[in-house]
Amino acid sequence: MKTTSKVFLAGLAVFALAACSDNFQTADATNNAAVAAGGKLYLNNCASCHGEDLKGEPDWRVAKADGTLPAPPHDDSGHTWHHPDTLLFNYTKGGGTSIAPEGFKSNMPAYKDILSDSEIWATLSYIKSRWSIQSQARQARMNKTP
């Protein structure tokens, strides 16, 4: 067997094993295991601010007295689906101020020491599963590289 064939088969085996594990590496609203795990994680880590129903805090577009914005909704009425997966992942992992413009105030905590990368992806999978088909399709186009 040629070396390139061996490398290809080894890569294929690694991909197959990764696809069968609970180690989620993307936000996939069609992955039932990720969505189920993400739903539990969302309720335990996100719902206190963003709401069990993903509706966010009231008046989420109006800054509070301290200059921070209330937690936005994660359903179709919010702007979460306006952003690509990598931005959502990095924002969740590093917290609101990690990627925001200088001077932007955010109450969004960093989850890097609370959730694993796989758990963040699962949580995002759950959030995406709650969007309309239209919002999912629009957001999916943002994730494609040209």
State yes or no: pLDDT of 135 exceeds 80: yes
Query: Residue 42 contacts by C-beta under 8 Å, 6 or more apart in sequence?
Result: 50, 123, 126, 127
Q: How confident is the model at residue 3 (pLDDT cuts 50, 70, 90)?
A: very low
- Domain layout of the chain by residue ranges: 3-143
State pLDDT tens for residues 31-62: 999 999 999 999 999 999 999 999 999 999 99
Among the CATH numbers 1.10.760.10, 3.30.70.60, 1.10.287.70, 1.50.40.10, which is that of 3-143?
1.10.760.10
State pLDDT tens for residues 82-112: 999 999 999 999 999 898 888 889 999 999 9
Query: Residue 17 contacts by C-beta under 8 Å, 6 or more apart in sequence?
Result: none
Q: What is the average pLDDT score of the chain?
A: 86
